[in-house]
């Protein structure tokens, strides 16, 4: 995920200072990897250096000075370009799950690979249940539901792969160790 | 002790065994998914638990009483009062409107027409189909029909809902919406749900999953062929197969 583009997107709705950007990020992208305040300010610094945002005044409330940022025309164009670009659909088959099973078959025996697949399938099932519970919680927002839907669909696909691979792992082992 | 209990339930269809000794305890307010591949016996187990089918052997208890030995009339009364049943499709009476369909279980249980109509309207509203109260099932989408059927299953305030693939005939979004509402209402009211499904993402709505395989509870819990479960650690140089 590109933090720069998320911040540009949040600024497209109007000028905001760093604290507001961090809050808006957490609301719109719930359950994302946590974004630190330091990262917000560092990213804003880079965006300003590259001419994609400019400072738009300061306000002083009870606390320290707060610098607001505004999107420039160049920033708006960069955001539009990023949004219009289609993400390459899985250009490389790379995943910790897949790699671990392949390596387990290389260095360990068939049982080690199966044990890993089963333990991973259990962990996936538990996480699937945990995230699904978010959808039925009374306080759930649509931001939450959309984020959780994304994770649930991917966990579901991983689970299908884990089960199929369990059924194939013996043949695969024979191919790796003829 | 759990209120709903199956003990060593065996059930065959002619010479074909569907359940070969299944035991299950469901706690009050618990949502349990019964999963497994086609033909594993999950629907038969649900029908036995709900008192629709009688097991050939074993026992089904509700509140400590063996309901499997009750006559059909008593089991049918239980299904109208304390149990609610929800299937994949074909549950609504086509000649009746949505409101009449939902009011039906109340009318059968002796509730007055006006009170039944009021409750039906309320439940249709809760499932977002209040505007379809006067519409017959044939003029509704699959998702709308299933919302009405869910409202009908809940209208009597059952202690347990038995749901057999309740979203099986719906598109993903409609299925998720119906299930989310069902689970939210069940949690709100402490209703128990026994949910039969073959889909992991539907089973994930439950607190716990019980997987059947060939008519017995699958000890691997993952629907795996037991030969695929790791053997005890093999010594060096031993062929793991």
Chain B residues touching chain A at CB-CB below 8 Å: 176, 180, 183-184, 187-188, 200-201, 204-207, 209, 220-225, 228-231, 233-234, 240-241
Is B204's CB within 8 Å of A129's CB?
A: yes
What residues of chain A lie within 8 A of the CB of B174, using their CB?
none
Give percent above pLDDT 90 in chain B: 71
What residues of chain A lie within 8 A of the CB of B231, using their CB?
111
Cα-based distances in Å from A130 to A126, A158, B201 = 6, 16, 11
pLDDT value at position B145? Answer: 93
Inform me whether the pLDDT recorded for B130 exceeds 50.
yes
Is A166's CB within 8 Å of B204's CB?
A: no
Interface predicted TM-score of the whole assembly (ipTM), two decimals:
0.78
Q: At what angle do helices B113-126 and B142-154 cross, to 10 degrees?
A: 130
> How far apart are the CA of A166 and the nearest CA of chain B, in angstroms?
7
- Closest chain A residue to B233 measured between Cα atoms? A111
Is B240's CB within 8 Å of A109's CB?
A: yes
What residues of chain A lie within 8 A of the CB of B187, using their CB?
136
pLDDT value at position B158? Answer: 94
Q: pLDDT per residue over B97-106, tens digit each?
A: 999 999 999 9
Chain A, 114 to 143: residues with Cβ < 8 Å from chain B are: 114-115, 118, 121-122, 125, 128-129, 131-132, 135-136, 138
pLDDT value at position B38? Answer: 86
> How far apart are the CA of B28 and the nearest CA of chain A, in angstroms?
18
Q: Does A164 touch chain B (CB under 8 A)?
A: no
d(CA B171, CA A60): 52
- Closest chain B residue to A134 measured between Cα atoms? B205
Q: Which of B183, B139, B187, B184 is nearest to B163 (CA)?
A: B183
pLDDT value at position B224? Answer: 61
First and final C-alpha spacing in chain B: 43
Return the number of CB contacts < 8 Å for A and B. Answer: 61
> How far apart are the CA of A117 and the nearest CA of chain B, in angstroms?
10
Q: Does A147 touch chain B (CB under 8 A)?
A: no
Of A118, A135, A159, which is closest to B200 when you measure between CB atoms? A159
Q: pLDDT per residue over B37-93, tens digit each?
A: 888 999 999 999 999 999 999 999 999 999 999 999 999 989 888 999 998 876 899
Inform me whether the pLDDT recorded for B229 exceeds 80.
no
Of A135, A153, A169, which is closest to B180 when you measure between CB atoms? A135
pLDDT value at position B239? Answer: 42
Phi, psi of A85 (to 5 degrees): -80, 125
Q: Does A156 touch chain B (CB under 8 A)?
A: yes
Inform me whether the pLDDT recorded for B15 exceeds 80.
yes
Q: Give the pLDDT band of residue B233 (cuts 50, 70, 90).
A: very low
Kind and range of the H or E element at A90?
none
Structure tokens at B49: 């638990």
Cβ atoms of B193 and B161 within 8 Å: the answer is yes
- Closest chain A residue to B206 measured between Cα atoms? A129
pLDDT value at position A62? Answer: 64
Cβ atoms of B28 and B192 within 8 Å: the answer is yes
In chain B, helix, strand, coil percent, each to 5?
A: 35, 25, 40
Q: Give the pLDDT band of residue B139 (cuts 50, 70, 90).
A: very high
Question: DSSP assignment, residue B85?
Answer: E
Q: What is the mean pLDDT of chain B?
A: 89
Q: What angle do CA B140, B145, B148 make, to 5 degrees?
A: 125
The DSSP secondary structure of B125-143, one letter per residue, reads HHTT-GGGTT--GGGS-HH
What residues of chain B lie within 8 A of the CB of A109, using their CB?
234, 240
Of B176, B206, B234, which is closest to A111 when you measure between CB atoms? B234
Question: DSSP assignment, residue B41?
Answer: S
- Closest chain A residue to B234 measured between Cα atoms? A111
Is A111's CB within 8 Å of B231's CB?
A: yes
- Closest chain A residue to B236 measured between Cα atoms? A109
Is A109's CB within 8 Å of B229's CB?
A: no
Q: What is the mean pLDDT of each run of 10 residues along chain A (178 residues)?
A: 90 93 93 92 96 87 78 96 91 86 84 86 93 91 93 93 86 86
pLDDT value at position B119? Answer: 96
Q: Give the pLDDT band of residue B230 (cuts 50, 70, 90).
A: low
Which of A110-119, B126-135, B185-194 is least confident?
A: A110-119
């Amino acid at each position: 995920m590109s933090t720069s583009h998320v911040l540009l997107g949040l600024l497209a709705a109007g000028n905001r200072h760093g604290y507001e950007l961090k809050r808006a990020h957490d609301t719109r992208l719930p359950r994302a990897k946590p974004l630190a305040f330091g990262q917000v300010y560092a990213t804003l610094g880079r965006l300003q250096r590259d001419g994609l945002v400019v400072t738009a005044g300061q306000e002083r409330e009870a606390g320290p000075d707060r610098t607001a940022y505004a999107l420039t025309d160049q920033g708006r164009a960069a955001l539009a370009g990023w949004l219009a670009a289609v993400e390459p659909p899985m250009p490389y088959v790379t995943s910790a799950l897949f790699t671990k099973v392949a390596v387990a078959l290389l260095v360990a025996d068939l049982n080690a690979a199966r044990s890993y697949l089963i333990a991973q399938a259990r962990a996936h099932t538990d996480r699937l249940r945990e995230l699904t519970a978010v959808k039925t919680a009374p306080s759930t927002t649509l931001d939450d539901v959309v984020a959780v839907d994304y994770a649930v669909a991917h966990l579901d696909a991983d689970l299908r792969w884990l089960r199929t691979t369990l059924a194939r792992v013996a043949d695969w082992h024979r191919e790796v160790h003829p | 002790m759990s209120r709903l209990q199956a003990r060593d339930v065996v059930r065959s269809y002619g010479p074909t065994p569907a359940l070969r000794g299944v035991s299950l305890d469901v706690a009050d307010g618990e949502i349990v998914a019964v999963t497994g591949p086609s033909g594993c016996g999950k629907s038969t187990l649900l029908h036995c638990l709900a008192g629709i089918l009688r097991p050939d052997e074993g026992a089904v208890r509700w509140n400590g009483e063996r309901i499997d030995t009750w006559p059909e009339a008593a089991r049918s009364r239980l299904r109208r009062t304390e149990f609610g049943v929800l299937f994949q499709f074909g549950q609504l009476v086509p000649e009746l409107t949505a409101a009449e369909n939902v009011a039906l279980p109340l009318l059968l249980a002796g509730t007055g027409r006006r009170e039944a109509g009021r409750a039906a309207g309320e439940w249709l509203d809760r499932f977002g189909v209040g505007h379809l109260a006067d519409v017959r099932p044939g003029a509704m989408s699959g998702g709308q029909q299933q919302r009405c059927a869910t409202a009908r299953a809940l209208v009597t305030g059952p202690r347990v809902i038995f749901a057999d693939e309740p979203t099986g005939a719906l598109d993903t979004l409609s299925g998720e919406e119906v299930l989310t509402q069902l689970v939210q209402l069940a949690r709100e009211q402490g209703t128990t749900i026994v949910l039969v499904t073959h889909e992991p993402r539907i089973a994930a709505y439950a607190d716990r999953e019980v997987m059947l395989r060939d008519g017995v509870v699958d000890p691997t819990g993952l629907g795996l062929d037991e030969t695929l479960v790791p053997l005890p650690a093999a010594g060096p140089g031993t062929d793991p197969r």
